[in-house]
Amino acid sequence: MSNRVRVRYAPSPTGHLHIGNARTALYVYLFAKHFNGDMVLRIEDTDIERNVEGGEESQAKYLHWLGIDWDEGPDKGGEFGPYRQLERLDLYKQYANELIENGHAYKCYCTEEELAAEREAQLAAGHPTTRYSGKCRHLTAEERAVKEAASAEHTIRFAVPANDTYEWEDIVRGNIKFESKDIGDWVLVKKNGIATYNYAVVVDDALMKISHVLRGEEHISNTPKQIMVYRALNWDAPDFGHMAVIVNENRKKLSKRDESVLQFIEQYQNLGYLPEALFNFIALLGWSPVGEEEIFSKDEFIKIFDPSRLSSAPAMFDKQKLTWINNRYIKEQPLEKVVEISLPHLIKAGFVNEERTADENLWVTNLVALYQDQMSFGAEIVELSSLFFKEVLTFGEEEQAVISEEQVKEVLSALVEELKASEEFTVDSIKAAMKSVQKSTGQKGKKLFMPIRVATTGQCHGPELPAAMTLLGKEKVIARLQQIIG
């Protein structure tokens, strides 16, 4: 293994990019870039039955969207390709034969029925777990010759050594140890000739010169099997780091069936989240910087990333924190970018036409500007701005109390007269009209402004009032005022 840091993200194309995989990819990326190393994208596609069409493309698309790029992979090539496991079957076969020749593996001719009978017998005998008995490991040369002559189907199993210890210093969890007596002879190559995960990943990582492996804690139990293959082939194992699970707000492990949390990166893009904000949020799901600050650019994350600060405790997916982070990023964006993530949702809601004039585009831009500081994601613009698209306003209890006050009709009637008399309908002219109403009615403060706000917007709280009235337009504002006046 070279001294250069080389890490890999190795997804299966069995679905779209979800939060857990995105976090693994993100930490692999930060690790590689922090140490001036290489990130490798490798597609582990040997689980043919579970592969989905477009799975690989989806992984790449949404990794790029998040701002994660790699140095080698199926799309880029590289010195250590090919980068899809189904294109590496000859390599797995080569080393499986070497393991057989060296006595570290053997062909197993047991049928599925025989294996099922073994498992049932072990369970009936009260064994808490079942494992292969290893009977094909002890076949004589003559017995093997008979099987071969009959072209009997077979798997290739690893011959697990007796009384061996598999120990490593985990980057995240410290010392971890397994004993070989707890592991039965396991399958390296299936009957169809396709290598199993725990075997293929070792061949790939060794030949690709992977120096560090970062992955989820569910892989801890796989690691001793992988270490025994490294030893059998006289290869150095990489350093391993197993990251804690992500849990929901009820402290239950996040799963793809958990509907309390959006699972897939595509969903966040579709809702108008910013990739930089999601990158920031995911980076904090199991890793913490020094100090209290939590908002960092990608380049800052690369600079400060310290693998020793990866947490072994479960990482909670805090939805409020995500919306807070995304809001922080939206506030700092150019207005054009916020319009870009908001517009598809306004169109989908039927509020805005797909084809627009220059004046209509300006109106949309001004509308989004009203809410930029409040927005947590693009789709939120629909609910926030709905008051502009209602034909008839409805009022809640708080709003009803405001427009029931005795001075309301006098204030609104005076404002209608001022607006009708004014040739302009701008923020400044509306402010001037309100000032005139204040003088003519003697009303000021909440007694003046709250009835106007509720009558025109239907809300007690909202965006800057003259700006909102300007966007509503003179005709609609007067109509809404007269609706209350009666």
Q: Which residues are catalytic?
A: 256
Q: Which residues of 136-155 are buried (b: 16+ CB within 10 A; e: fewer)?
A: bbebeeeebeebeeeeeebb
Are 471 and 373 in contact by the 8 Å Cβ rule? The answer is no
Helix (H) or strand (E) holding 279: helix 275-283
Residues 6+ apart with CB under 8 A from 78: 40, 71, 72
**Contacting residues for 291 by C-beta, under 8 A, at least 6 apart:** none
Per DSSP, helices labelled H in 333-373 are 335-348, 358-371
Which residues are CB-contacts of 149 (< 8 A; sequence separation ≥ 6)?
none
Q: What CA–CA distances, in Å, run from 268 to 26, 265, 272?
A: 16, 5, 6
CA-closest candidate to residue 83, choices 124, 37, 43: 43
Are residues 82 and 42 in contact, defined by beta-carbon separation less than 8 angstroms?
no
Note the helical H segments in 349-425.
358-371, 380-384, 397-403, 408-421
